[in-house]
Amino acid sequence: MPVTARSLGHRFPGGPWLFLGVDLDLRPGRSYAVTGPSGCGKSTLLAILAGWVKPARGTVEVDVPGRVSWVFQHPHGAPRRTARDHVSWPLLASGLRPADADARAQQLLDQVGLGAHADRPFAVLSGGEAQRLMLARGIAARPGLFLVDEPTAQLDRSRAHEVNIALSLLTEPATVTVVATHDEQTRQSCTDHIDLTAYGAVP
């Protein structure tokens, strides 16, 4: 499996176990919703998969082509640069010619419902639009592992729905997608479910 975890557990010094005994086999072309109450370790699990945090117990193996991309709760961008620019950057960095990068960026923006906003600067996008832009930019890098942390946490219901639709459309055949979420609709947008309460996240 491209991403595996065996007997994974984590706690911070002096604190309780967030989770214990997590066994995962994550496959490309699938999207995995990680759910559980606040403080159960959802974001920590993503950080462990990314290699940013060493687990207190167990092992993780990530054998995927390409980079790890992460989309955070709060979208950040260059205020004066356009939506197309944000998605083109990782494509240019991968070696595409500017014209090809712009064309692919436009396809991804169309896919997440932002095609008509391609020339708008980041500063004028709504929260939901900015989050959809971050999803498009993240997948543009062709990551082997795509981590998304609470993408709808700061959004109202209608904008969260737009983000969830975009998330469901961005599953790539060569990418393992893992999404930490409280949102039932986000969970339903993913193909698979990892419930951390099943691993001792809640006493």
Q: What domains can you pick out in the chain, each with its CATH number? A: 3-199 (3.40.50.300)
Residues 130, 93: contact at Cβ < 8 Å? Answer: no
* pLDDT tens per residue, range 12-27: 998 899 999 999 999 9
Torsion of CA 101, 174, 29, 8, to 10 degrees: -120
Predicted model pTM: 0.91
Q: pLDDT of 117-163, one tens digit each? A: 999 999 999 999 999 999 999 999 889 999 999 988 888 888 888 88
pLDDT of residue 202 exceeding 60, the answer is no
Cα angle for residues 153, 159, 162 (degrees, 5° grid): 110
